[in-house]
Amino acid sequence: MSGLTLHDYELDDACYKVRLLLGALDLNYAKVAVDVHPGREQLSPKYLKLNPLGSLPILVDGEVLLHGAEAILAYLAQAHDPNKAWLPREPAGFGAVMMWLGFAGGELRSASLARMHHMLEVDADAAALDRQSRQAFRVMDDHMTQREFDGRAWFAAEHPTIADIALFPAIALSRDFGIDHDEYPALRRWMRRVRAIPGFVTMPGIPSYH
């Protein structure tokens, strides 16, 4: 019944966030592969009509047209999660999720850019991105260290939310741009929990442990 279409690039960590949630929600969707590298198709007139920012992911759901991973995650949780768990309605939980979504689309963006720089030779100040990425991962590890002392396993609630989904790809893919997981023991344990979420999907750089 679902009329969901995701305009997607397999190597894009922002697209992966959406694929993760679609998997966790067990939703059927059509995937349109966009030739980002080397074709730069996301910047073509056809795609700029869908998203003037020239970025992916783009989600189409009937009349709804959205771009930006965090907005799409929030929309999917609002529209297609019958249990209303991935985006809590209760104010404190909602606020915590929104705070981490802002972080995922803000400070953590350095990690995405660092990866693009390493993999696709996107022009960037690699040293600055490395420093900013490590700082962001440190903030995440400090947070999950404190959460574990309270017996909590997830970033924003007693159960996984779209905050966990939005934060996962950058650190899980960090070896692509030269940052090991050694220094983030609480994130290592949390990533293992994320991988065990029913419906979890992999992407290149995030192997399935067969």
Partner 1 sequence: MSFGADWYAVGLSEGLEAGTSAGARLFDQEIVVWRDTDGVTHAWEDRCPHRGMRLSFGFVRGNHITCLYHGWQYDAAGQCRLIPAHPELKVPDTIRTTAYPCRERFGMVWVYSDLAAAAPSDLPPEVPQVTPVRSIYIDRTATAVVAFLTAADLPPFPAATAARPTLAGSGSLLSLSFGGDALLAAVQPVGRAKTALHLAMSGRPQDWRGAGQKDVARWAQELRHALEQQAPYDGAPVAQALHDQIPQEQTRQEITP
- Restricted to residues 147-166, the positions that interact with partner 1 (CB under 8 A) are 149-150
Q: By C-beta, is 44 or 146 nearer to partner 1?
A: 146
- With CB under 8 A as the contact rule, the residue among 35, 146, 178, 199 that binds partner 1 is 146
Residue 138 to residues 7, 114, 135, 167, Cα–Cα distance (Å): 32, 16, 5, 13
Q: H helices of the chain, where?
A: 13-24, 45-50, 69-80, 91-105, 109-120, 126-149, 162-172, 185-195
Q: By C-beta, is 90 or 183 nearer to partner 1?
A: 183
Question: How many binding residues for partner 1 (CB under 8 A)?
Answer: 18
Residue 5 to residues 61, 65, 104, 131, Cα–Cα distance (Å): 6, 10, 23, 36
Query: What letter would DSSP give residue 170?
Result: H
Beta carbon of residue 192, minimum distance to partner 1 (angstroms, whole number): 7
Q: Interacting stretch for partner 1, rule CB under 8 A, among 32-40, 99-107, 158-166, 181-189?
A: 181-189
- Restricted to residues 86-145, the positions that interact with partner 1 (CB under 8 A) are 138, 142, 145
Q: By C-beta, is 121 or 180 nearer to partner 1?
A: 180
Which residue in 182, 154, 187, 186 sits closest to 170, CA to CA?
187
Q: By C-beta, is 76 or 114 nearer to partner 1?
A: 114
The identity of residue 172, as a single letter, is A
Beta carbon of residue 180, minimum distance to partner 1 (angstroms, whole number): 6
Query: Are 35 and 84 a contacting pair, CB within 8 Å?
Result: no
Number of helices (H), then strands (E), in the chain: 8, 4
Query: Are 57 and 29 a contacting pair, CB within 8 Å?
Result: no
* Residue bearing tokens 């991973």: 69
Which residue in 196, 207, 190, 198 sits closest to 25, CA to CA?
198
Interface with partner 1, residue 185, by CB under 8 A: yes
Q: Interacting stretch for partner 1, rule CB under 8 A, among 1-9, 92-100, 165-173, 177-185?
A: 177-185
Interface with partner 1, residue 45, by CB under 8 A: no
Interface with partner 1, residue 196, by CB under 8 A: no
Q: Interacting stretch for partner 1, rule CB under 8 A, among 23-31, 68-76, 153-161, 173-181?
A: 173-181
Applying CB under 8 A, the residues found at the interface with partner 1 are 138, 142, 145-146, 149-150, 175, 180-183, 185-186, 188-189, 192, 207, 209
